[in-house]
């Protein structure tokens, strides 16, 4: 019996560890559908966001526009013409943005649009993806040149045409 005791303890520990790992894996794989759904996660995070109210005059003061950007999409048969409105953090950032928009911001927009498909720009989901991608890319460049940041990107006009 004394010779079998270490073997019994080892077997019980192994079974216990296997059971714990199995429970953890099952909870992760078959866990709550509500927690694993990306849309519900996004909805939960949006619930807690409070939008800052600003007056129309202040919004105009911190918004810069880039109009008439025309470029081919990844499918060379399609052309897009788009206008953007960029809301910046403050007036100083807007002034800096206006200085670099033709030499820094437009190339970012053109290269981003050049990597998109016509189907990728259709619908609100595609436009939202474009806006968020531009927001991230432009903010990276703004950090290098200014102290402020880009708060919002809006598409004010978009036309997709086949050549």
SS3 of the chain: CCCCHHHHHHHHHHHHHHHHHHHHHHHHHHCCHHHHCHHHHHHHHHHCCCCCCCCHHHHHHCEEEEEEEEEECCCCCEEEEEEEEEEECCHHHHHHHHHHHHHHHHHHHHHHHHCCCHHHHCHHHHHHHHHHHHHHHHHHHHHHHCCCCEEEEEEEEEEEEEC
% of the chain exceeding 70 in pLDDT: 86
pTM of the full predicted structure?
Answer: 0.65
Instruction: Give the separation between CA 108 and CA 139, rounded to whole angstroms.
Output: 11
Q: What tens digit of pLDDT does each residue of 91-112 get?
A: 998 998 999 999 999 999 999 9
Q: What local confidence, expressed as pLDDT, does residue 46 receive?
A: 44
Measured in degrees and rounded to the nearest 5, phi and psi for residue 89 equal -65, -40
The region, left, alpha or beta by phi > 0 then psi within -120 to 50, assigned to residue 120 is: alpha
Compute the Cα dihedral for 142, 143, 148, 154 and give only its sign: positive
Tell me the CA distances in angstroms from 22 to 13, 19, 33, 36, 115, one per residue in order: 14, 5, 19, 19, 43
Q: What tens digit of pLDDT does each residue of 114-132 get?
A: 999 999 888 889 899 999 9
pLDDT tops 70 at residue 35 = no
Measured in degrees and rounded to the nearest 5, phi and psi for residue 162 equal -95, 135
């Amino acid at each position: 019996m004394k010779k079998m005791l270490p073997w019994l303890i080892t077997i019980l520990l192994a079974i216990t560890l296997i059971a714990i790992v199995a429970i953890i894996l099952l909870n992760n794989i078959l866990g709550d559908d509500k927690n694993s759904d990306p849309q519900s996660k996004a909805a939960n995070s949006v619930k807690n966001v409070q939008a800052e109210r600003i007056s129309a005059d202040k919004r105009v003061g911190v918004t810069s526009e880039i109009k008439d950007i025309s470029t081919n999409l990844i499918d060379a048969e399609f052309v897009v013409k788009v206008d953007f409105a960029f809301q910046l953090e403050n007036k100083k950032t807007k002034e800096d943005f206006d200085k670099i928009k033709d030499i820094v911001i437009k190339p970012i927009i053109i290269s981003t649009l050049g990597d998109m498909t016509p189907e990728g720009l259709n619908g609100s989901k595609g436009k939202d993806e474009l806006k968020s991608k531009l927001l991230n890319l432009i903010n990276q460049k703004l950090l290098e040149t200014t102290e402020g940041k880009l708060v919002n990107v809006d598409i004010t006009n978009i036309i997709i045409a086949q050549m």
